[in-house]
Chain A
Amino acid sequence: MTRRKKMVERVKKLMNKPEKIRDIGIVAHIDHGKTTLTDSLLAGAGIISQELAGTQLFMDYYELEQQRGITINAANVSMVHEFEGEEYLINLIDTPGHIDFGGDVTRAMRAVDGAIVVVDAVEGVMPQTETVLRQALRENVKPVLFINKVDRLINELKVDKKEMQLRLSKIIDDVNELIKGMSKEKYEQGWKVDASDGSVAFGSALYKWAISVPSMKQSGIGFNEVYDYCQKDDVKSLAEKCPLHQILLDMVIPHLPNPLEAQKDRISVIWYGDRKSIVGEAMEKCDPNGPIALMVTDIMMDPHAGEVATGRLFSGVLRRGQELRVSGMPATSRVQQVGIFIGPDRLEVEEAPAGNIVAITGIKDVIVGSTISSIEMTPFESIKYVSEPVVTVAVEAEHTKDLPKLIEVLRQLSKEDPTLKVEIDEETGEHLISGMGELHLEIVAYRIEHDHKIPITTSPPIVVYRETVQGRAGPVEGKSPNRHNRFYITVEPLPKEVIQLIKSGAVSMRVKELERRQLLMDAGMDKEEAKNLAGIYGSNVLLDMTKGIQYLRETMELILEGFEDVMRNGPLAKEPCQGIKVKLVDVKLHEDAVHRGPAQVIPAIRHAIHASILMANPAILEPILDVYIHVPADQMGSASREIQGRRGQILDVHSEGDLVIIRGKAPVAELFGFAGDIRSATEGRALWSTEYAGFEVLPSNLQVDIIRQIRQRKGLKLEMPKPSDYVDL
């Protein structure tokens, strides 16, 4: 305990010296050993005992995380490291690797300046390695590489010394290939990872040893020695001679930027405000004397302190009692506590200056992605999530008396986890929660029952579908119920390039008009259309192609409302629409405002778009996952059958030593229960992971059945909807 206290004092001292701070994250493909690495780092820093590290899974402090051996929430910790005679403060965020929790990774990347990318020496670069690396680069977060489980090469694959070196350099090349592909500019600016300059380390997180080129020079332990120690199974001496935390943090300090350097470069990527403004300049300088500017990356409920918002402080000094505002909210609220993290414990501090990862309580109406500031400022660009929710379950309180509490808990959970979507089905009154996968929702259900003590029943998981058009239709006339207003609509598929621009967030209504127009034109959109963009919803657009229509401006808001409503609930089965270009080509409005209120305009627009979609060869899209299976060669057949039997496709098979790596894809709908089935099919010897691969058109022979199924579930008429249900033809 005293050792711990001392540590706290050192942390507090270093918090005020930004040049001595490194805000970093650890990212990896699932099971490549992130959390084990974090534990070993903490053990090295004296926060948990050396013996427990590796098995304690300290960062997985959520009980369920430890049970399942996976990390669900990004957790935070601060520690002190000595490098070349100077003390440094490392603020570390651990991130989950399972695809179901992708949102947490993206959020954590916003708060850090550098990342340790962990790659398993045997498996090599995996799909999620690519995903997390992409997330890091997009947020301007600099990577260093740690190749983990090197001992497995020696002891399990029994490669010789030469082969080991070859394999390791291949991994380095693969990672560099990815970095180069994602950002050639940064690659050339020195973001390339290089064993010779010390930005790559090799080792074993579990056995707590590591080496790097600089460490070899100091300790005299190189690959030859490592090979011998491993063969002798004497990893203990190895860990004593080249302790993991020492080598890794020695890599982090010179190769990853401190907040002063990082913020100069990163602010322009993560913030779109005026960089010459007071807050803009303060953030670029990481100025403690500037106004408060905090980006919230995580919200947690503390039973005592209430909502705890964690985030990166880019400027100013946080103190208790400050009056701060939350972007988009009218009122200010008062900071009750300021804290930092030591593992699962939040430690209250008097003040926390710019450059740190901090926790505060007392701020009302804050959500993940909020900007908290002391003066009015442009909010940080909202955090972009890479994947979309693909699975839904209906939750019901077992006892009706718990219903109000359940509603409150669901609201809270969706605030803590923005990748979780909570909706109420207005017709059935059911609460629907949508998430990134079966596992994600299982965890949510577990939290409701276990943490919040509300017994619930959940429906079997339901796939989230999308609706789209494959052809064009229109102009279709939509009349208002009072017949006094008419809207003429055409629809057609939105080109893939444009959908990509919208999904990536490059084009949104918040982007300046000229810039947006140029981007759309570069993606192949007609100039006239790019100029007339009136609204974006999901990955659908509304274009106003009319000219000089009186009263249209004041009616536009209602038109957009109608458009958004259809994009949320398509005509086939009330599933969200995707990739539809809706054009308003003509409008006739009643000249009296009282005749063109919302109850007239919204239904007219809705009917016209509904009917146009139904006439434009509509289709249901289903979510697809890429599936990667590592399996011993003799089990390959059973493993591939598990994919093929699920309307899946095998895309690639190659062998790696005695392992076969199968790459395939399959629809989410068919993957329910995959975990259990593949385990029994391969006698538990398959390692597998999945990756979100977007939506694809459902095979045409299944379209009608699925539409009917969804309609039945939602209590809609079973007949297939027809255009004439909506408009006079």
Chain B
Amino acid sequence: MKLAALVSGGKDSTFAMYKALQAGHEVIDLITIKSQNPNSYMYHTPNIHLTELFSKASGIPLLVEESSGEKERELEDLERALHKVDVGGVVVGVIESEYQASRVERICKSLGLDVYAPLWHQDSEVLLREMVQVLDIRITHVAAFGFDKSWLGRKMDEKTIEDLKTLKGRYGIHISGEGGEYESVVLDAPFFAKKIELVKTKKIWCEDYGTLEILEAMLRNK
């Protein structure tokens, strides 16, 4: 089936897209919703500009839809974007957020589109272990008690997963970051022709949350 992938450039949307490709689907469009609201319930906001490089690296065209970020109105923006593509379904990286899943499903249903959510209700730890095998993931934002500045820019690997599990035990975080505990960016994936390189970044830390702002990035041959 021809699919559009809803991507943020982070690990879950990228891994969902990878799963779709592996299952023999064809991803012909990438959709990114650029929200004005940094605290949107729906969309991933840090470093969303990186999806352009993501598009170039994977060779799949990108559709960027601007959104006001107002709660619930945000969904109309997604609907508008989906009208612009000619596909049979949408691939999304949602794992546990009922809020996101139910809303995407409602819109797709009204447009007669299938929702392809390969990660839905999968075991988070198993997923993470699979992801770090095939993706180069960096942590770009943390927002939960227990994280500190050292997490910003960190590459996800087995050790990272163990540390996340410790935080889960101690503070009850979700290890995939489904509760907004952290956000990530993917620099390389099996379906990338080139990989992304971060040239210039800046760490911004507030009392208990922080962001790795990516000021400059470029593509490099693998």
The chain A residues found within 8 Å of chain B, CB to CB, are 480-484, 590-592, 594-600, 602-603, 607, 725-726
Contacts and interface: CB of A to CB of B under 8 A. Distances in A.
Given A481-B143, A592-B98, A594-B96, A599 B41 contact: no
B118 interface: no
B178 A599 contact: no
A595 B97 CA distance: 8
B208 interface: yes
B181 interface: yes
B96 A482 contact: no
Given A481-B208, A592-B98, A597 B174 contact: yes
Given A482-B180, A483-B209, 19 more contacts: A481-B180, A481-B181, A482-B144, A482-B181, A484-B39, A590-B41, A592-B97, A592-B98, A592-B99, A594-B178, A594-B179, A595-B179, A598-B145, A599-B167, A599-B171, A599-B173, A600-B181, A603-B145, A726-B207
Contacts, number: 75
A465 B209 CA distance: 31
Interface string B128-167: 0000000000000011111100000000000000000001
B131 to A, nearest CB: 18
A482 B179 contact: yes
Contacts of A590: 41, 99
Contact of A603 (B38, B96, B208): B208
B172 A598 contact: yes
B171 A725 contact: no
Contacts of B167: 599
Contacts of A599: 144-146, 167, 171-173, 179, 181
Interface residues of B, number: 25
A484 B41 contact: yes
B209 A481 contact: yes
A483 B144 CA distance: 10
A595 B100 CA distance: 12
Contacts of A591: 99
Contacts of B145: 481, 598-600, 602-603
16 contacts: A481-B142, A481-B144, A481-B147, A481-B181, A483-B209, A592-B97, A594-B96, A594-B179, A595-B41, A595-B178, A597-B179, A599-B173, A600-B144, A600-B145, A600-B179, A607-B207
A598 B171 contact: yes
Contacts of B181: 481-482, 599-600
Nearest to B146: A599
A597 B209 contact: no
A483 B39 contact: yes
A595 B207 CA distance: 19
A719 to B, nearest CB: 14
A724 B85 CA distance: 47
B57 to A, nearest CB: 28
A481 B172 CA distance: 14
Contacts of B39: 483-484
Contacts of B179: 482, 592, 594-597, 599-600
A607 B208 CA distance: 10
A648 B90 CA distance: 77
Between B41, B98, B181, B208, the greatest number of chain A beta carbons within 10 A of the residue's beta carbon is seen for: B208
B98 A597 contact: no
Given A482-B143, A595-B97, A603-B145, A725 B207 contact: yes
Nearest to A727: B207
Nearest to B182: A482
A592 B98 CA distance: 7
A480 B41 CA distance: 13
A484 B180 contact: yes
A599 B147 CA distance: 10
A596 B178 CA distance: 10
A600 B178 CA distance: 12
B179 to A, nearest CB: 4
Contacts of A481: 142-145, 147, 180-181, 208-209
Between A481, A592, A596, A607, the greatest number of chain B beta carbons within 10 A of the residue's beta carbon is seen for: A481
Nearest to A728: B206
Contacts of A592: 41, 97-99, 179
Given A595-B179, A599-B144, A599-B181, A482 B172 contact: no
A596 B143 CA distance: 12
A511 B201 CA distance: 57
Contacts of A480: 143
B8 to A, nearest CB: 15
Nearest to B96: A594
